[in-house]
Homo-oligomer: A and B are copies of this chain.
C-alpha cells in the first residue's frame, strides 16, 4: 500500500517537527518532566519568543500537550512515540559513528 501525495506530506510534516536542533533540545528537556516555558527558556540559549514559537509547532504536530497553572503554561510530551523516534535515531547514529560515543536521548 502506497501513500498518496497528501499522506506523504503529512508524514513529512511530522518528521519536520523533529528536524531542528532547538525543538529536539526542548523535547530533550521535557523527557523527564513537565516544564513551564520559562523553565525551558532557562535551559536553552534562545529567546522566550522562539521557545514559544517552537512549542506551538510541536503542539500543532501533536507531540506536546499543555496545561495552564496560574500564569504559567506547563508543557509535556504528549505521545511516547516521541521517545521511540529519538531512540531509533540515536541508535542509528551510534551504529554509524566511526568512533562510538554512545548517544542516548
Contact = CB atoms under 8 A, between A and B. Distances in A.
Interface stretch (A18-26, A49-57, A67-75): A18-26
User: Main SS of chain A's interface residues?
Assistant: helix
A21 B8 contact: yes
Copies in the complex: 2
Interface string A1-33: 111010111111111101111001100100000
A5 to B, nearest CB: 7
Interface centre among A62, A79, A92, A93 (most CB of B within 10 A): A92
B12 A24 contact: yes
Interface size bracket, A side: 35 or more
Contact of A9 (B7, B9, B21, B96): B21
Interface of A: 1-3, 5, 7-16, 18-21, 24-25, 28, 62, 79, 81, 84-86, 88-93, 95-96, 103-105
